[in-house]
Amino acid sequence: MRLILLILITSVLVKASTISLDEILQKLRYEHPVSKSIKAYEALYKADNKAKSSREALQLITDGSYAKPDLDKFGYEYSIGVEQKFMNSSVKESLSKSARYQSDAEILNLKHDFLLLENDVRLLYHLNCLDKQAIEQYKASYLSFKTLYTKKEKAYKYGEISKKELLQLQIELDRLNSEYKHIENEEKTSRNNLQSKILLPIFEESVLSCKDTYAVTEKLVINNNEISLQVKSLNKKIKSAQSDFNQYDSIFDSYTLFAAYQDEIDTKRFVVGLSIPLNFTSPINEEKRAAAMHKKSALEYEKQGLRLERESKMKLLEKRLLQSYQNIESVKSMLNKYENELMPLIERGYRLGEDSAIEYLLSQREMWMYKKDLIQHHKNYYEMLFKLYSILEIKD
């Protein structure tokens, strides 16, 4: 019996195990499908770049025919040989660099997307913790009011209060119960939203720690000197375009050597040849050089636009973040006065019969509205904070 009880207790503890934000992020970086795909793409691009820089395979060339010339001899003829294409060393180097820079840019873009995912998880973690806090606060208010209603119900039986006052309290109790269920549903929704981003089985049976939420501060200390992943990606693309430009700046991009043995009816010969494309006979390379140059210019302008947009959004979000902080402090101050100074007086007046039930209920509702506003301002603060983190590409 003791063994069964121990197993049940252990299973409950395992199911109720808490998980912190750092633990979630660590799991994301090692187990999330997007993280695994980035590692797979890195291996893919590495192998692909090696393939592009490798020498092309040797080609075997054969042909055969039956000939009957105007001579007395006739019969079969054949030829067998090999052909090898060699890239111009400078062109090959440019091609290799272009491919490598382009794949590096793609990986940086994927890492940027994953960083946005991490900040989405941070935000949803905080929102769910705030919803849990709302449930706890509302539950305390609901149970307190329910205790009051029970006392007033007894008072009604003894004829100490009117039927009207009891009905007012009963309607308010029903309203509180309905709103409590609504808040519970909001918490479940925010939990599901977080799960939809995490996509890890371990999260389903875990309870959020919520002891590691970020503090609300008036001024953030942010190191904004590091080059962003998006800018790094554009820098790689610019280098790739420059390598493409260099690729087409050569007299020839490749040459082909071939050797063959030919056995004809009356002749046997060895043939050695060289094939070189004459790029100057076609405008294609000049057009490709121009395209590479325009691509580089477009990427430079894109980087400039990204920098300006980043600075503009950063300033806007910093202002909104400060506004959210000021709203939090303002509501906290009002709630503190209401909860610790005004409400005790109202409750005392209601107990002594100096204030009506309606006055008491309206005061209770107004106090709860302050609490709801405070939680909503916290949510707005964290939304601005993690948007700012995403723009600044802050990882931790």
| 55 to 17, 59, 96, 341, 349: CA distances (angstroms) | 56, 12, 12, 84, 93
Q: Per-residue pLDDT for 2 more than 60? A: no
Tell me which range, 10-14, 164-168, 282-286, is most confidently predicted by mean pLDDT: 164-168
Write phi, then psi, for 119 (nearest 5 degrees): -70, -30
State the burial class of residue 58 (Cβ atoms within 10 Å of its Cβ: 0-12, 13-18, 19+). Answer: exposed
Architecture per CATH, domain 18-59+90-251+307-392, reads as Up-down Bundle (1.20)
* Percentage of the chain modeled with pLDDT above 90: 36
CB 110 within 8 A of CB 283: no
Cα torsion 133, 135, 138, 143: sign:
negative
pLDDT digits (tens, 9 = 90+) for 228-282: 899 999 999 999 888 888 888 777 778 788 888 888 777 788 888 888 887 777 7
Q: Bigger pLDDT: 289 or 26?
A: 26
Distance, in Å, from the CA atom of 205 to the CA atom of 195, rounded to the nearest integer, reads 11
Average pLDDT over residues 91-117: 90
pLDDT digits (tens, 9 = 90+) for 111-137: 999 999 999 999 999 999 999 999 998
CB 122 within 8 A of CB 388: no
Helices (H), the chain: 2-15, 21-31, 33-53, 89-157, 163-198, 201-204, 229-247, 284-337, 343-351, 357-392
What's the alpha-carbon Rg for the chain, to the nearest Å? 38
Domain boundaries, the chain: 18-59+90-251+307-392
Q: Give the DSSP letter of residue 396.
A: -
pTM: 0.83
Distance, in Å, from the CA atom of 272 to the CA atom of 257, rounded to the nearest integer, reads 8
pLDDT digits (tens, 9 = 90+) for 58-67: 888 888 787 7
User: Across all residues in the chain, what is the average pLDDT?
Assistant: 85
Query: Which pLDDT does position 111 carry in this prediction?
Result: 93
Q: What type of residue is 64? A: G
